[in-house]
Amino acid sequence: MLKEQESVLTVLQQKLGLNSETAKVLVVGLGSTGLSVARFLKNIGLQFAIVDSRNKPPEIDRMVEEMPDVAVFTGGFDQAAFEVATHLLVSPGVSLDELSIQKSMQAGCQVVSDIDLFACATDKPIVAITGSNGKSTVTTLLGEMAKHAGIDAAIGGNLGVPALDLLQQSASITVLELSSFQLERTSVLEPVAATVLNVSDDHLDRHQSLERYAAEKQRIFNGQGVMVLNRDDPRVMVMREAGRTVRTFSVQQQADYYWDQQQDMLMAGDEAVMPATELALQGLHNIANALAAIALADAAGFKREPMRQALRRFQGLPHRMQTVAEVNGVQWINDSKATNVGACVAALNGFDRNVVLIAGGDAKGADLSALTPAVAEHCKAVIVMGKDGALIADSVTDDMPRYTAEHMNEAVEMAHKVAKKGDVVLLSPACASLDQYKNYRQRGDKFTRAVKQQVQSI
C-alpha cells in the first residue's frame, strides 16, 4: 500500500463514501480482479462479501484458502446479498445491465471499481491508456521505456496484473491499460497523462451503441492531466476539452507528434526522434502506437534516449502481428489479439503484399462493412470460421475468393493451398474468440501449432 491505511480510509470516505463502520461492499465476480479487490478490502478493514453467477468461479479455491471467513455466494446472484450492500464493486466481465445490479443501483447503491480503489490508495502518478486497438502495445512500450530509463514502473490493469495487486510494488509511477468495461464504472481516477488511441466498433453487445462506447472511453480524461489524442480519428478528437493541455499524434498529417513520410522520421514538433525504419515493430499502426507512447512518455517526464532504446528493441506482444513461420516465401502471422474490426483493418493496411486472411468468431454485434475496402485492397482470399464467419464472408466483395473452415487446422490447410511465394497468411479474426476458444491466446496458440504442423509436412 502506497499510503498509510488511515490515509487511504480517509480518501475512500471522502471520494467514495466508504468507511469501516457503515460500508458494506458486495464484490460481483470472483476472477482475478475480484480476488485483488477482496485482498485490498481485507487489508484495509472494510466489510465485504462476494457473489458470482458461476458455480465454481476461477479464483474460488484461492479465495477460500486466503480468506475462509468471507461470505461467498456462487451459482447465481443472491438477491439478499445485493439488498444489504451499500456499494457494489462489479468486475469488468459483468454487465451493469444485470437485473440484480440495476435494482441495487435504483435503490441507491453506489457502483465503484477496482480502479477507483487504486486511485484512492496511491500517491504516485498514473498514466492511463485505452482505445479499441493498440492499448496493450502502447502500455507495454511505455513500461519498456521506463525500464530503459531506470524508472521503477508498475504495469497492469486490463493487461496482466490487476491494478490493486500493483500496490504491492514500490513503483514510482503506474501505467494502466484500461478497458471500456473498467472505465464505465470508474469516477475518481485522475491520471497525469491519458490517451484514447482510437475508437472503432467493439463490445457493442455490451455498450449498445458506438456513441455510448466512445463516451465510456472518454472517462479516462477525468481530471486535469495531459490529454494525448489521435489526430487521425475524428471520434477521438471531439473529446478535446477546453483549458486542458492536449498533445496530438498522427501518421497522416502534421501534429505535435507525427510521422514525416518524406523523411520516414518520427517527429516530436521540430525534433527528429528516430527513423521509422529503426522501429522493431512493423506496420503503420505501430508507427502510430510509437508516437502515442512517445507523447505519453514526454508527459510523464521520461528522457528521450531510453524511449529510442525501447522502440528499437520491443518486438511486440504474443498474438499481435507475431510472425510464427516463413517458408517457401510465405509469411505466417498470428494476430489473434485482433478481436475487433478496427484491429483487423489496421493489420491489413500495414501490408503491401497479397494477404490470405483467416477471420471469424463472435463479432459482438459490430458493423463488419468496414472490412470491405481493406479486404478488397489487400487480400487475395478470405477464409472464415466461427459463429459470425458467414457474416464476414458476406461483407467482402463478390469477386473475392472465400472459403469456410470448421476449425483452425482446416483453415491453415486451406491457406497453405491458396498462398504462393511472396504472400502473407494472416490470422486476424476481427472477432472475439469465445465462441470456439477459451480466449484469444488459445486461438493464437492453435493457429501457431497448426502452422508448425503444416510447415513440417512441406
**Confidence at residue 458, expressed as pLDDT on a 0 to 100 scale:** 62
pLDDT value at 356 more than 70 = yes
Active site residue 158: yes
pLDDT value at 224 more than 90 = yes
Q: 267: closest CA among 279, 284, 255, 278?
A: 255
The 3-state DSSP class for residue 191 equals coil
**Confidence at residue 201, expressed as pLDDT on a 0 to 100 scale:** 60
Q: 196: closest CA among 280, 292, 56?
A: 292
**Confidence at residue 210, expressed as pLDDT on a 0 to 100 scale:** 86
* pLDDT bucket at 1, cuts 50 / 70 / 90: very low
CATH architecture of 322-456: Alpha-Beta Complex (3.90)
38-47, 278-287, 405-414: least confident range: 278-287
CATH architecture of 117-313: 3-Layer(aba) Sandwich (3.40)
User: Are 207 and 161 spatial neighbours (Cβ–Cβ below 8 Å)?
Assistant: no
The Cβ-side half-sphere exposure at 265, using a 13 Å CA radius, reads 12
Average pLDDT (286-301) is 97
Average pLDDT value over all residues in the chain: 93
**Confidence at residue 351, expressed as pLDDT on a 0 to 100 scale:** 86
For the structural domain made of 5-112, what CATH number should be given? Answer: 3.40.50.720
Average pLDDT (273-298) is 94
Write out pLDDT tens, residues 266-282.
Answer: 999 999 999 999 998 88
Write out pLDDT tens, residues 69-124.
Answer: 999 999 999 889 999 999 999 999 898 989 999 999 999 999 999 999 999 999 99
The Cβ-side half-sphere exposure at 19, using a 13 Å CA radius, reads 6
Average pLDDT (359-369) is 91
pLDDT value at 429 more than 60 = yes
* pLDDT bucket at 47, cuts 50 / 70 / 90: very high
* pLDDT bucket at 202, cuts 50 / 70 / 90: low
pLDDT value at 207 more than 70 = no
pLDDT value at 29 more than 90 = yes
Q: In what order do the strands lie in the sheet with 402-404?
A: 322-327, 330-334, 424-427, 355-359, 379-384, 402-404
How far is 47 from 44, CA to CA, in rounded Å?
9
Would you give the end-to-end CA distance of the chain in angstroms? 55
* pLDDT bucket at 221, cuts 50 / 70 / 90: very high
How far is 45 from 8, CA to CA, in rounded Å?
11
Q: What are the distances in angstroms from CA 87 to CA 19, 34, 113?
A: 11, 14, 10
Q: 281: closest CA among 313, 329, 318, 249?
A: 313
Please identify which of the residues 135, 148, 207, 319 carries the catalytic annotation. 135
322 or 255, which is more confident: 255
Q: Which residues of 167-185 are buried (b: 16+ CB within 10 A; e: fewer)?
A: beeebebbbbbbbbbbbbb
Active site residue 207: no
* pLDDT bucket at 205, cuts 50 / 70 / 90: low
Active site residue 203: yes
* pLDDT bucket at 387, cuts 50 / 70 / 90: very high
For the chain, the C-alpha Rg in angstroms (whole number) is 23
**CATH 3.90.190.20 placement within the chain:** 322-456
User: Are 364 and 412 spatial neighbours (Cβ–Cβ below 8 Å)?
Assistant: no
**CATH 3.40.1190.10 placement within the chain:** 117-313
Whose cell is 501490408? That residue is: 351
Please identify which of the residues 133, 158, 230, 334 carries the catalytic annotation. 158
DSSP state of 54: S
Average pLDDT (160-175) is 95
307 or 133, which is more confident: 307
Average pLDDT (249-268) is 97
> How many residues are given for the chain?
458
Please identify which of the residues 133, 148, 198, 203 carries the catalytic annotation. 203
